Amino acid sequence: AQKITQTQPGMFVQEKEAVTLDCTYDTSDPSYGLFWYKQPSSGEMIFLIYQGSYDQQNATEGRYSLNFQKARKSANLVISASQLGDSAMYFCAMSFGGSQGNLIFGKGTKLSVKP
């Protein structure tokens, strides 16, 4: 069965520093996608970054990068130069080839950026 694990319930980071949010996954399907979402206190789910299982290079989107280690089944999100507006819940999610495209979500990590 597919599973996403986020082991950090909460994280603190100083403004302008980088932070890594951990995510591990489990699937036997060779085709899968890994996603990160941001959920501010207002509640909307904002897509940040995607990594496909066949992608050779780590995905990057602006200040976000995904540290994809396939053998370890990890897909950590790295946020560089943290800003106060980065304070939010962050969810790691996975979709897989045998699905209809729906996502399985981890429990999330609450990131707090300190000034």
Partner 1 sequence: SAVISQKPSRDICQRGTSLTIQCQVDSQVTMMFWYRQQPGQSLTLIATANQGSEATYESGFVIDKFPISRPNLTFSTLTVSNMSPEDSSIYLCSPGQGSYNSPLHFGNGTRLTVT
Least Å from the CB of residue 48 to partner 1: 9
| Residue 76 binding partner 1, by CB under 8 A | no
- Site stretch for partner 1 (CB under 8 A), options 15-23, 26-34, 63-71, 74-82: 26-34
Picking from 70, 34, 69, 71, the residue whose alpha carbon sits closest to that of residue 49 is: 34
Binding mask 42-71 for partner 1 (x = CB under 8 A): -xxx-x--x-x-------------------
Residues whose CB falls within 8 Å of the CB of residue 43, separated by 6 or more in sequence, listed in order: none
CB 96 within 8 A of CB 27: yes
